[in-house]
Amino acid sequence: MPVPAMVVGFSLWVATAGGSDLPRPYQDALDALRTSNEPSARALAAIAVAHGFRDVPLSDPADAVDALSDAMQADADPTVQAMTAYALCVLRDLRGVPRLIGAIQATVARGVDPQGRFSDAVPLPVPYLYRALGHVGGREATWFLIEAARTGPVRARVVAIAALGFVLGDGGEVERALTTLSGDPDPTVRNAARYVMSERKPRSGKR
């Protein structure tokens, strides 16, 4: 996933958990996730961990995903919960899936544009939430995306269809759903499904 401008060069407060093998930028971001008084700062810290830092690879995300999972469970703010769940899914940790699905459902209930931003304070594009589910894969995430692609407003359906393009190792379930959607009465949905089908074929079976 591309890194939005808001997290490029992301710099946060110092002070880190002692003994961590994570590169310093990740330690600083996780410290902000644990200690910042501002929910939006904690949410942006989680996004920064997920998207990474230029020229600072995260070779082993094990420490990061455990800290993200702890924050997702402990933080009372729903936006922080949503963004830590998003970060977990970007890092392919299935623990984030149920909470991220709930966050997407909450955006629908709030009337947030499915092709717009999550909020003014946390301007992550809403389609990134759907894509993160496709990225992490697994039965629960794939089922949710297929159902979201089948029903609801067209703007949300095409976002879910695009996210299905990231799902691999699904035993053909996505391809069957896309084949059905390629005959949808709505031309926007139909064309989106056909495009994703064409894009999936060359990389089938690869991560």
**8 pLDDT above the threshold of 50:** no
Tokens 């690869």 found at: 206
170: pLDDT confidence band, cut at 50, 70 and 90?
confident
What is the full DSSP assignment across 4-70?
PGGGTT--------TT--S-HHHHHHHHHHHH-S-HHHHHHHHHHHHH-BTTB--S-THHHHHHHHH
83: pLDDT confidence band, cut at 50, 70 and 90?
very high
pLDDT digit string, tens, across residues 123-148 = 999 999 999 999 999 999 999 999 99
* Separate counts of helices (H) and strands (E) for the chain: 10, 0
Q: Of 59 and 35, which is predicted with more confidence?
A: 35
Please tell me the pTM assigned to this model. Answer: 0.86
